[in-house]
Amino acid sequence: MKNIKLKITFNAPVTLTFVFLAFAALLLGIVTGGASTQTLFMTYRSSLLSPLTYLRLFTHVLGHSGWQHYVGNISYILLLGPMLEEKYSSEKILKVIVVTALITGLVNFILFPGSALCGASGVVFAFILLTSFANFRKGEIPLTFILVAVVFIGQQVMEGLFVKDNVSNLSHIIGGLVGAVAGYALNMKKKRY
């Protein structure tokens, strides 16, 4: 019988790097009793003279409040990220992550001066809506997109109105909108060629 050699591949570099960076941020947060999370991986209203204010607009998506928060977000990212990188490219998925982080960070900074935001759930919702465009064709709106938008975004609107918890439903909605716009734009660009 012939020996079959299997090797582990780094198949989705942006997804895997994101997962590892978020894990490192979580561990650092545990070791520092949350101080590093608050300083580096959480966005909130702070002085515009501080360089960390601008850094946190991007790095807040790497921070998580604990193991359960991390696992909940990273499970979706590991499930959806590799497929999205294969379909759209690692570079484009990195742009989706960066844009989602910036927009959700700015919205939180501007509209919610007394609230801090951390976690990758905006990225998760961007990935979910972006995935629903996987079979997009020009002149069509995928029913899967409509259903995903209604279920996920609708749930966030309902929870935002009726459930009082520490979940930032607005960042979920914004992430979903970024994913929807990116999905439409990326697929329209592909169809032109």
From first to last of its 193 residues, what are the pLDDT tens digits of the chain? 678 888 888 999 999 999 999 999 999 999 999 999 999 999 999 999 999 999 999 999 999 999 999 999 999 999 999 999 999 999 999 999 999 999 999 999 998 888 999 999 999 999 998 988 777 776 677 787 788 778 877 777 777 666 565 557 788 889 989 998 998 888 876 654 4
Q: What phi-psi label fits residue 138: left (phi over 0), alpha (psi between -120 and 50 degrees) or beta?
A: beta
Q: How far is CA 49 from CA 43, 44, 54, 55, 172, in A?
A: 15, 14, 9, 12, 28
Rounded to two decimals, the pTM is 0.88
The separation between CA 179 and the C-alpha centre of its own chain, rounded to angstroms, equals: 9
Can you tell me the distance from the alpha carbon of 168 to that of 192, in angstroms, rounded to the nearest whole number?
A: 37
